[in-house]
Structure 1
């Protein structure tokens, strides 16, 4: 088929190819048709004919030349050109039935492709939900499979242009969602527990892509509930497991002491430690804690506690408070290790010169505007730990680099500090170090 006019509108969707020789076929149209006609009952008022098809949502006209007209009538070409209607010339060698069959095959191919995309996306999202940082991994995977930007926000962290929609979606009850056009982006909003999933991209989501978002919503809802319940239990469960392990004889397994607690998230590290120290390793939720010799060599993003002195004589059980303190210290240091990608040890150098009470007060004063926003605290820690690199911080957090930019910009506004200055970065890094 030859395009006679309307070449700039060939991206319009086609629902089906419909053949009609009526002078006014509009009562029988539903929109998005490729209307095929040979001009058997060619209209006397061609501009009105085309205007009716435009108002009915017809996507394009295909005019079959011969036997009625040897060429496409110039009046039809002129009317379609003036009203922005794509007009195609269908040659005698191409029956209308062939056009319908070709379109049917394309639509079937699209349906199969969308089903495959949905199945592949479901598997990818499910795998993401089992990773170390599952919420961030699910958001990153959703952004990749749909070629979009995906963020979890609340009323306080929502972009200004979406604040009212986010507040309405977050505060409603029952099934609810919203959509909006923001600049050149199509935006959809769906509730996830107390937060809102915001998906934005340059084109609207198809029904299959909306189904992918529904899968992500279900996973994010479960993960956020589980995460909140696990965070409060991790140190207590791990410490209890380590205390129970004393029955195997710590000195026989670890040596005479001193010992340390190591906190981490890597499955590979957990497997190595579990194989080597067995019951002295405990895992709850995303994190694991292990009781190891003080000289145990560590690498990667793990938190390492201060040494725990061995009891004397060795048969006396190690104190509960010593285990609890070491487990809490290692878990707190793990946040710093995530940010830098390197082992985090207890405070030394400058930190060792500062009274702990004074340090904590300084930290809470510096970070006061962010203390109710753990995602901003984590992002600031990762961004500073990676020397202000958007890409490396995004990799540490498992989110899109634009999400890091958005969060750091929001943190900068809340703090009222210029994060481009060395003074602000140094002060905030010390505050984050002393916060826990």
Structure 2
């Protein structure tokens, strides 16, 4: 934010040769940057305590009449009051009181690290005040000129085909600071310069700001300074966040930033409208894929996005169909992946199609958006509807993150969960429990082991530690108790399922 005029600092005032001012305390005894503090005004007073009449960032001029007969403690107290009030420098008019600058005053200013300068008798105090006022006016004019020039440059940048990106670049150059633009999904869409420091550290705060959905600003501390964040869009419909790695902005700089915020609001709202149109098109193509219209979907996708993902593909389903932030993030991923991702909203949620070989995007989506994602086995485009059915089964199987249909296959018995299934399973096995209770037998344990060992008498006997003849006798007792024929596959399947449901119910009871 450079300006052609020198800022009205203590140092600049001392350099005005026509005033013939002289620094009376060596610079190495002053506070760091003391001579570079801006003087917002010049006031003169010979009161022993002028602070009630002063404001911050003033230079105070005095002739020293209040110090007649003063002792060192009076000087120290006087200077301390000025420092606490925020006075940036003290000027002493010589030759009004004989003897020049009192040594006690110089020592007190040195101890307090406050600049003290001599104003010669022939330099009126009003000349010092006017010089500073002219410097302030020149600085204000330079800043207003800078702001007008910056706004003109930003207006021209906005006329380019990449208007918003060009405006961000121009703002970065004018502020001499890194500027980043995040979209509604929290993705960094554009930055200048491209090696901007601290942007990774901003992600959590940007995501939180967007999640709150309110128009707000924030200042975030990063490893090499601070970054100012300003949300974009309307409350409840935020379109992004503008980030500036800069310190405190003056009024002119804020006006320039406000102009870019307005540009970004308009551009991102227009982009949001475009995304809504693309969203509707994707939804239509998703329905087409499910209805067997892969050829039509492929032609449209080829013109719009470079094509559909190459087969074989995995069909995924998540219940984030109502979350615009997820859709916008997927749009940003589709921009970078070409034809390696297709998605669209359907009645069941959000349908995704990715190459079967892609094992990165879906886990990233699940982790980033805190979603559960059901994923099918690899299928062709003539099997998308079947893939969706698999994805739905995987999604409904419980758990979090990515849920793969292949992992759900072994859990067929889970489809029979519920109170009704447990009552039926209990009734199926009740005769065995009654026989065991009445005769002290182990029919239920024996049958479960025999089914678990695929009906092998030898392996079951070894597992139970009994003779094969004993096993056959127990199985015959099972058939009598249940009035079934264990050589029937249907009977064995029914009994196996009863044990599975009973076991799942017992686990649920123990962990409830």
TM-score range relative to shorter protein: 0.5 to 0.7
1:204-353 pair list within 5 angstroms: 204-230=248-274, 329=302, 332=305
Q: Write the mapping of 1:327-406 to structure 2, written as runs, cut at 5 A.
A: 329=302, 332=305, 356-358=310-312, 372=329
Give the alignment partner of residue 52 of structure 2, picking from 23, 27, 32. Answer: 27
Match of 1:71 in 2: 100
CA contact (8 A) 1:235 1:331 kept: no
Distance 1:332-1:164 versus aligned 2 partners, 3 A rule: closer
TM-score normalized by structure 2? 0.47
Looking at structure 2, the residues matched to 155 and 129 of structure 1 have their Cα atoms a distance apart, in angstroms, of 23
Aligned partner of 1:178 in structure 2 is 218
Partners of 2:187 and 2:329 within 8 A in 1: no
Bigger relative contact order, structure 1 or 2 (CA pairs below 8 A, ≥6 apart):
1
The Cα offsets for residues 218-269 of structure 1, whole Å up to 9 and x where unpaired, read as 11001101122235659999xxxxxxxxxxxxxxxxxxxxxxxxxxxxxxxx
Q: How many residues align?
A: 277
| Deviation per residue, 1:154-195 (Å, 9 max, x gap) | 657684654565456445566532235545524322111232
Matches within 5 A, 1:16-165: 16-42=41-67, 44=70, 45-153=74-182, 159=199, 161-162=201-202, 165=205
Matched with 1:264 is none
- Bigger shift: residues 369-378 or 29-38: 369-378
Unaligned runs of 5+ in 1: 238-321, 334-345, 348-354, 363-368, 382-410, 416-436
Q: Distance in 2 between matches of 1:103 and 1:23?
A: 24
Compared CA separation, residues 48 and 328, structure 1 to 2 (3 A) = same
Q: Runs of 5+ in structure 2 lacking a partner?
A: 1-20, 189-197, 282-294, 316-325, 339-360, 366-512
Could you give the per-residue CA deviations for residues 342-383 of structure 1, whole angstroms, max 9, x where no partner exists?
xxxx99xxxxxxx9324x769xxxxxx9992655776799xx
> 2:138 & 2:242 partners in 1: Cα distance?
31
TM-score of the superposed pair, with normalisation by structure 1? 0.54
Answer yes or no: is the 8 Å Cα contact 1:177–1:189 preserved in 2: yes
Q: Distance in 2 between matches of 1:184 and 1:82?
A: 32
Seen in structure 2, the aligned counterparts of structure 1 residues 180 and 51 have a Cα distance that, compared at 3 Å, is farther
Tell me the residue number matched to 1:366: none
CA distance in 2, matches of 1:67, 1:6: 24
How big is the shift at 1:54? 0.7
**Conserved? CA contact 1:6–1:80, under 8 Å:** no
Tell me if the contact between 1:129 and 1:223 (Cα under 8 Å) persists in the aligned partners.
no
SS of the residue corresponding to residue 10 of structure 1 reads: helix
Mapped partners of 1:24, 1:72: distance in 2: 18
Match of 1:3? 23
